[in-house]
Amino acid sequence: MPSPEPHLAILGPGLLGGSLALAAKQRGAANRVSLWARRQPSIDHILQNHLADSASTDLAEATSGATLIVLATPVEIMPALAAQLASLPLSAGTLITDVGSVKGSVVRQLEPLFANSPATFLGSHPMAGSEKTGIDAARADLFHSQNAACILTPTDTTSPIDLDRLIAFWQTIGCRVLPPMSPERHDQEVARVSHLPQLMACVTTLAALQSDPSVLRCSGNGFRDTTRIASGDPALWTGIITQNHSAILPAVRDAHRHLGELLEILETLDEVKLQHFLTSAQTLRNLLPPKP
């Protein structure tokens, strides 16, 4: 069992930040957990519900003495927040990471901010979540129960010691840590298996309901499961899609091509091609490991 982080500071008490705080205490990943939030009502909620050892709207206070700092805000907010963080008197050896689902833009902007700092930055992406948002949805078992993959994106300047330390942390939280990959490779892969499904759930919802929402009375679990993530926060997903649009575009073009293929099959009512289309999808979908 790796040694726990002496002091974990989490910036942003949403679903992931709140769940991380709960998991770190429950699973022994940190001796002390502090949270930073922009608004006092969030701080009051955290303290009243004992979600962390301390909480503050003051960034310097929340991160004072922290050995590991995790940015758990929307990706478009991270650069400005990290710039404030880099101006603070951080301790030597402080490791900074994030939970953003985009890595290319985040790593490019954040890593240089700490080049002349005693702290270092190394990108993380624990692939856990829910269509629900906010700290009220936080769960201590979020990462473990989903058998969540966690992807680390080191660069040429990353210390092997920092990489091993962060791997151990996420494993203790309950994640399944994948082999490290470049930020660019991360964005390409996640565009296919996370960002594209989000958009396709929205497309399915609009196509099914926009002309006549009353058809929902006939819906079953298939529609519910297929469109569940379309209930995700539009503001959050606007930021993610904007930041990773260059990797998402090819995935959406492929989706457009397959929809065109399906449309042609249906217009000609070619049963052989239809069965081939459905079988191809079934074969690929069956490569997915069973849900734990």
For the segment 24-29, the average pLDDT, to the nearest whole number, is 94
Question: Which of residues 138 and 62 earns the better pLDDT score?
Answer: 62
- Give percent of the chain with pLDDT exceeding 90: 84
For the chain, what are the domain ranges?
A: 8-181, 185-285
3-state SS of the chain is CCCCECCEEEECCCHHHHHHHHHHHHCCCECCEEEECCCHHHHHHHHHCCCCCEEECCHHHHHCCCCEEEECCCHHHHHHHHHHHHCCCCCCCCEEEECCCCCHHHHHHHHHHHCCCCCEECEEEECCCCCCCCHHHCCCCHHHHCCCEEEEECCCCCCHHHHHHHHHHHHHHCCEECCCCCHHHHHHHHHHHHHHHHHHHHHHHHHHHCCCHHHHHHCCHHHHHHHHHHHCCHHHHHHHHHHCHHHHHHHHHHHHHHHHHHHHHHHHCCHHHHHHHHHHHHHHHCCCCCCC
| Arch. (CATH architecture) of 8-181 | 3-Layer(aba) Sandwich (3.40)
- Convert the pLDDT of each residue in 28-42 to its tens digit: 999 999 999 999 999
Q: What is the pTM of this model?
A: 0.91
Look at residue 292 in the predicted model and tell me its pLDDT: 65
Predicted pLDDT of residue 12: 94
- Going by pLDDT thresholds of 50, 70 and 90, the confidence category of residue 178 is very high
Which pLDDT value is given to residue 176? 94
Fold of 185-285: 6-phosphogluconate dehydrogenase C-terminal fold (1.10.3660)
pLDDT in tens, 58-92: 999 999 999 999 999 999 999 999 999 999 999 89
pLDDT confidence band for 204 (50 / 70 / 90): very high
